[in-house]
Amino acid sequence: MITSSQRTTFESLNLIHPLQKALRHEGYEIPTAIQAETIPPALAGRDILGCAQTGTGKTAAFALPILNALAEQDSRPYPKQPQALVLAPTRELAIQIGDSFQAYGRHTRVRQAIVFGGVSQHRQVESLKSGVHLVVATPGRLLDLMSQGHIDLSHLEYFVLDEADRMMDMGFLPDLKRIIRCLPDQRQSLFFSATLPPDIVDLSQRLLADPVTVNVTPKRRSVATIRQDVLLVQKPEKFPLLEKILLDDKVDQAIVFTRTKRAANLLERKLNDRGFSAAAIHGNKSQNSRQRVLQSYRDNRLQILVATDLAARGIDVDGVTHVINYDVPNEPESYVHRIGRTGRAGAHGSAVTFVTPDQRKELQAIERLIGKKLLNSDLMEDAPKSERRGGKSDRQRSEGSKCTFSRRRTSASKSMGNVTNSQPTATQASKRSTSETATANPRQRQAKRSGFRSRSSRPRQAGKDSRGGMTTSA
């Protein structure tokens, strides 16, 4: 369940009436911890360094103060000169952020454009020309449009960098630096990252001025409502085991992660051949096909998404009951991002990771990152050779009784001959509330609530308010 602040209400945050109305429409009753900690200082004009994982409600944490400011200004947007920019690592995430701005701003006159690659730039250029208050963008396409003179960031007032760690992982640092060089010094910046390794801290120091730090997800923690299990399995047994897990009644919607696009395509084919409704989503698919697949998945017309890490970030679907790591991720951070696709919006989720005996190091790196043992590593070290090769040993039989899976999965593990699983972790995990760790500096939080900082003194431009292209009246 999303961790909510016990004391704060949306009314007490002093958001304008149109936003409160939209939040009621969304069914949000109380702010999440990141929202309660971020919105007041952001409304007061402070820069924010937010350490928060996806699923904590961080999108509204930055969207609401920006919408509040833009709606209060109620100025006509300038052609090509947005007042606010949100940068996201993937197209899917950019679209979802745009959807959130649209939902929260439905009763305001704030207009936005979403800018991402893989589609024609024509509509995006048209909407920028007609003028938008807010642009949500991925770095590559944004730079393209900047270099062609379709967008000018010199009057930007509000800048958000979302999922900064993911941006770095994806090699966006050079692009980010080029974009940051074009931002005016006088601006408010909100910086969000699931983890804060040294290079991210370094980047944040370059971007932020005296920020308020809001930390609702410490580095060594996975999303609390997600049950995490590891299955020790031999490579040839992965697919039959996956099939058995998916046949479990409780698997409503699943995302299966592979390391490579090729493996994702192969798995998509095999699953469909076995009668499942599955589709692959990865960087080689066209933007339209990715959107089509995601829409079918959201509409529950598709049971299984097969995804690579690159595609994972943008998948924000509330009903994902299971994440299955068919392949252990290359980087331990990806594990946290992957499992964050389930357990969203208050739901409980389950994450199952297949680990082959030669992947002990990868598993240990994940365990170090999340600060929790997922599998008794002795099982890997001490496993008799027969067990490692798939033979059934006494030891394995006794481990079978510890299986935390449902009946069908237990029988699956038995039939696999060498499958074991971790101890239950959900109880432990659920004790850890993200709100326990909110650490905004009290001195900083006393910052006077003088309205969201506006540094622009641009005169209103008359007469250009045409609507069209990608622009949406949020």
255-285 as b/e: b if 16+ CB within 10 A: bbbbbebebbbebbeebeeeebebbbbbeeb
Helix axes 91-104, 17-26, angle to 10 degrees: 120
Instruction: Please say which residue, 59 or 420, places its beta carbon nearer to ligand AMP.
Output: 59
Q: Does position 344 bind ligand AMP by CB under 6 A? A: yes
Q: Does position 11 bind ligand AMP by CB under 6 A? A: no
Among 8, 19, 31, 191, binds ligand AMP (CB under 6 A): 31
Q: Does position 56 bind ligand AMP by CB under 6 A? A: yes
Q: Please identify which residue in the block is written with the tokens 């008794």.
A: 376
d(CA 428, CA 46): 36
Q: Does position 318 bind ligand AMP by CB under 6 A? A: yes
Instruction: Please say which residue, 9 or 428, places its beta carbon nearer to ligand AMP.
Output: 9
For residues 198 to 217, the per-residue mask of contacts with ligand AMP, x marking binding by CB under 6 A and - elsewhere, is --------------------
Which window, 56-64, 236-244, 355-363, 370-378, contacts ligand AMP (CB under 6 A)?
Answer: 56-64
Cβ atoms of 465 and 76 within 8 Å: the answer is yes
Q: Does position 316 bind ligand AMP by CB under 6 A? A: yes
Q: Does position 40 bind ligand AMP by CB under 6 A? A: no
- Report in angstroms how near the CB of residue 248 gets to ligand AMP at its nearest: 25
- Report in angstroms how near the CB of residue 2 gets to ligand AMP at its nearest: 5
Among 283, 345, 358, 468, binds ligand AMP (CB under 6 A): 345
Q: Please identify which residue in the block is written with the tokens 């929790």.
A: 372
- Report in angstroms how near the CB of residue 414 gets to ligand AMP at its nearest: 37
Cβ atoms of 191 and 211 within 8 Å: the answer is yes
Instruction: Please say which residue, 3 or 396, places its beta carbon nearer to ligand AMP.
Output: 3
Which window, 30-38, 181-189, 249-257, 284-292, contacts ligand AMP (CB under 6 A)?
Answer: 30-38
Q: Does position 55 bind ligand AMP by CB under 6 A? A: yes
Inter-residue long-range contacts of 10-14, CB under 8 Å, 24+ positions, other chains counted: 13/39, 13/40, 13/43, 13/64, 14/43, 14/449
Q: Would you give the distance in Å from CA 296 to the centre of its chain?
A: 20
d(CA 93, CA 465): 28
- Report in angstroms how near the CB of residue 196 gets to ligand AMP at its nearest: 17
Q: Does position 60 bind ligand AMP by CB under 6 A? A: yes
Query: For 182, which DSSP code?
Result: T
- Report in angstroms how near the CB of residue 344 gets to ligand AMP at its nearest: 5
* Phi and psi torsions of 43, nearest 5°: -65, -30
d(CA 20, CA 193): 26
For residues 244 to 283, the per-residue mask of contacts with ligand AMP, x marking binding by CB under 6 A and - elsewhere, is ----------------------------------------
As a whole number of Å, the CA-based R_g of the chain is 23
Encoding tokens for residue 70? 């833009």
Counts for the chain of helices (H) and strands (E), in that order: 21, 14
Which window, 29-37, 76-84, 104-112, 223-231, contacts ligand AMP (CB under 6 A)?
Answer: 29-37
Burial class of residue 292, CB neighbours in 10 A (0-12, 13-18, 19+): middle
- Report in angstroms how near the CB of residue 1 gets to ligand AMP at its nearest: 9
Which window, 28-36, 144-152, 158-166, 431-439, contacts ligand AMP (CB under 6 A)?
Answer: 28-36
Cβ atoms of 214 and 191 within 8 Å: the answer is no
Q: How many residues bind ligand AMP (CB under 6 A)?
A: 16
Instruction: Please say which residue, 92 or 387, places its beta carbon nearer to ligand AMP.
Output: 92
Which window, 57-65, 175-183, 220-228, 331-339, contacts ligand AMP (CB under 6 A)?
Answer: 57-65
Q: Provide the Cα torsion 444, 46, 66, 13; round to 10°.
A: 20
Which window, 48-56, 133-141, 361-369, 372-380, contacts ligand AMP (CB under 6 A)?
Answer: 48-56
How many CA atoms lie less than 13 Å away from 468 in the CB half-sphere? Answer: 10
Interface contacts to ligand AMP, rule CB under 6 A? 2, 28, 31-32, 35, 54-60, 316, 318, 344-345
